């Protein structure tokens, strides 16, 4: 019945498409709504400060009004409305005004975002903005629409993150996966262990000086960013990577060293890659860190504990007396069993704190409880690992390197950035996850999709922007819009005006239409936008 309704709704619709991500269903109607420069809005309670400024780019000023005078009104849906619930909304534009029907703050925000984009694209003359009348019924394809930012290799900082969250919310993305710790730097203040940031926060991938400035988020900044994201419908998922990618923490607290590896001919990379996976004091140290993380991210639902690439740096484990004891005591035969034991131990702690455990796809082999664990599938060359995770019953976030890693280049002509049997052009991001060949049962376990920006080769903010945009807009539509409504040609048409929005908000991007010059890292020096310590 619902499906039939959608088909009728969509097919009777001539072209009024201006919104990204493309709505589930749109239908044009006769007439226009004419707006003067000031638009009276009956804002939902407490919504004015957030929503009003968003209309500025449309050349309009939103001012608060009572329901009787307002041109834009918010309503709650009739009982049983399956669209205008959760993150969904209905938007109706008639010659008399605009109605946004939604149940939740996210639904109201998304209805407003769509209205804003329509107003931006509307015809303007003599101080009048004319919006073609229409109806939209919209809700997301995937519950998880994410972006991951690596803050360790190069640090973005509060202003850059807030700007990113603004843009994510405009495109209805709702998960910010915050990769806060890794080998080059520890970026989150932990009160109990101040050296984590004082020492572990110094330097980055391209600045190895021992006295490099420390860059990190204070707990106040973290709380502020989490609240800022929440207002914009975004949940922040913290990642504290363990037992690998641990150099920065071990530099600060060497008693937790589990050893690492030295790349050939180098002494700087990464000699303290792992935590000692079996030492009682180290496990307690990690417990205490997780206690503070849990209190800073009360709504995250999941704490991501990394779990990736451990075997790259576990060669010293057999020499550690604590590992030897553990293997004897627990009758563990190989290092992979030690990794499993460690994962289960730390996942138990995360679960006790009331969170699910998140981890990279290596954890699919670590025997964690399927109802308490989320797996991020990232190794595109290992479809068997996705299969393993699904078969084991884990909910999965899809973020395979191809096409979801934005440290890969996006155009053939680009010289810097990764390639791996190809690269990640806009269109591949847009098409995703088509071609993955998931059964209906599999699809039920897929929470959604996510792009990841690793920042080894993204020294400057201009470079991070260049890698991110406009690919993240393509990912947003892939995450939101039903497969049947996706259309790359239509997307490209709509994308053009979004580039102007990015520009107006000081966000850099690659212009695929003009083939703008590559913003590379060649000769770039790391930036220290926040006051260095
Ligand atoms: C692999 S993705 C990593 C990261 C690197 C990335 C570079 C993952 C779980 N681990 O540590 O930054 O490749 O593309």
Q: Domains along the chain? A: 2-138 (3.30.379.10), 144-504 (3.20.20.80)
CB of 360 shorter than 6 A to ligand 1: yes
Strands 89-94 and 175-179: unpaired
Q: According to the model, what pLDDT value does residue 302 have?
A: 98
Low-confidence ranges of the chain (pLDDT < 50): 1-15, 532-533
CB of 454 shorter than 6 A to ligand 1: yes
Phi and psi torsions of 204, nearest 5°? -160, -175
Residue 526 CA to residue 533 CA, distance in Å, equals 15
Contact in structure between 479 and 448 (CB atoms under 8 Å): yes
Residue 367 CA to residue 361 CA, distance in Å, equals 12
Centre of ligand 1 from the C-alpha of residue 371, in Å: 26
Helices (H), 186-279: 195-198, 219-231, 247-252
Ligand 1 nearest-atom number relative to CA 407: 14
Residue 384 CA to residue 398 CA, distance in Å, equals 14
Q: According to the model, what pLDDT value does residue 13 have?
A: 40
Q: According to the model, what pLDDT value does residue 298 have?
A: 98
CB of 469 shorter than 6 A to ligand 1: no
Q: Cα–Cα distances in Å, from 162 out to 225, 384, 472? A: 7, 37, 16
Nearest CA to ligand 1 atom 14: 454
Closest among 234, 178, 167 to 472, alpha carbons compared? 167
Q: Tokens in use for 471? A: 């690919």
Nearest CA to ligand 1 atom 6: 454
CB of 309 shorter than 6 A to ligand 1: yes
Centre of ligand 1 from the C-alpha of residue 311, in Å: 14
Q: According to the model, what pLDDT value does residue 261 have?
A: 81
Q: According to the model, what pLDDT value does residue 15 have?
A: 43
Q: According to the model, what pLDDT value does residue 528 have?
A: 86
Q: According to the model, what pLDDT value does residue 275 have?
A: 98
Q: Tokens in use for 238? A: 């913290």
Centre of ligand 1 from the C-alpha of residue 240, in Å: 14
The catalytic site residues sit at: 182, 245, 309
Of 180, 308, 358, 409, the one to substitute when testing ligand 1's pocket (max ligand atoms within 8 A of C-beta) is: 308
Following CA atoms 154, 160, 161, 163 in sequence, which dihedral angle do they give, to the nearest 10 degrees? -150
Phi-psi region of 243 (alpha: psi -120 to 50; beta: other; left: phi over 0): alpha
pLDDT digits (tens, 9 = 90+) for 440-463: 999 999 999 999 999 999 999 999
Centre of ligand 1 from the C-alpha of residue 454, in Å: 7
Ligand 1 nearest-atom number relative to CA 361: 9
């Amino acid at each position: 019945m619902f499906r039939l309704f959608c088909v009728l709704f969509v097919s009777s619709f001539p072209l009024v498409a201006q919104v990204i991500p493309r709505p589930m269903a749109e239908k044009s109607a006769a007439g226009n709504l004419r707006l003067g420069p000031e638009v009276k809005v009956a804002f939902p309670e407490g919504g004015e400060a957030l929503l009003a400024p968003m209309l500025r780019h449309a050349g309009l000023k939103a001012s608060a009004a009572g329901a009787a005078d307002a041109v834009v009104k918010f309503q709650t849906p009739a009982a049983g409305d399956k669209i205008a619930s959760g993150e969904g909304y209905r938007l109706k534009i008639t010659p008399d005004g605009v109605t946004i029907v939604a149940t939740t703050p996210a639904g109201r925000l998304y209805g407003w975002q769509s209205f804003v984009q329509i107003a931006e694209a509307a015809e303007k003359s003599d101080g009048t903005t004319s919006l073609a009348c229409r109806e939209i019924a919209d809700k997301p394809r995937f519950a998880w629409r994410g972006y991951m930012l690596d803050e360790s290799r190069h640090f973005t900082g509060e202003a850059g993150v807030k700007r990113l969250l603004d843009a994510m919310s405009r495109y209805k993305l709702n998960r910010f996966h915050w990769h806060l710790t890794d080998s080059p730097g520890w970026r989150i203040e932990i009160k109990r262990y101040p050296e984590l940031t004082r020492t572990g926060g110094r330097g980055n991938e391209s600045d190895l000086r021992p006295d490099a400035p420390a860059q990190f988020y204070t707990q106040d900044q973290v709380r502020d960013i989490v609240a800022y994201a929440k207002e914009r419908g975004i949940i922040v998922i913290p990642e504290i990577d363990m037992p690998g990618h641990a150099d920065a923490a071990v530099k600060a607290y060497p008693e937790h060293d589990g050893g690492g590896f030295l790349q050939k001919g180098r002494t700087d990379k990464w000699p303290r890659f792992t935590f000692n996976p079996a030492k009682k004091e180290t496990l307690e140290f990690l417990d205490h860190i997780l206690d503070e993380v849990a209190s800073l991210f009360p709504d995250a639902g999941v704490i991501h504990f990394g779990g990736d690439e451990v075997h790259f740096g576990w060669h010293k484990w057999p020499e550690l007396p604590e590992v030897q004891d553990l293997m004897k005591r627990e009758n563990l035969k190989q290092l992979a069993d030690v990794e499993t034991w460690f994962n289960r131990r730390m996942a138990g702690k995360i679960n006790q704190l009331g969170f699910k455990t998140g981890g990279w796809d290596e954890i699919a082999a670590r025997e964690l409880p399927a109802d308490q664990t989320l797996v991020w599938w990232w190794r595109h060359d290992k479809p068997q690992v996705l299969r393993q995770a699904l078969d084991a019953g884990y909910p999965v976030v899809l973020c395979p390197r191809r096409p979801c890693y934005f440290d890969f280049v996006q155009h053939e002509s680009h010289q810097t950035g990764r390639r791996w049997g190809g690269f990640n052009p806009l269109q591949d991001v847009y098409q995703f996850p088509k071609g993955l060949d998931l059964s209906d049962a599999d699809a039920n376990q897929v929470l959604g999709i996510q792009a990841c920006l690793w920042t080894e080769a993204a020294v400057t903010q201009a470079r991070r922007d260049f890698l991110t945009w406009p690919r993240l807009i393509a990912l947003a539509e892939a995450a939101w819009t039903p497969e049947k409504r996706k259309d790359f040609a239509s997307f490209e048409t709509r994308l053009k005006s979004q580039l102007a929005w990015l520009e107006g908000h000081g966000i850099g991007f690659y212009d695929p239409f003009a083939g703008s010059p590559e913003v590379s890292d060649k000769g770039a020096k790391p930036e220290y936008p926040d006051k260095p310590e």
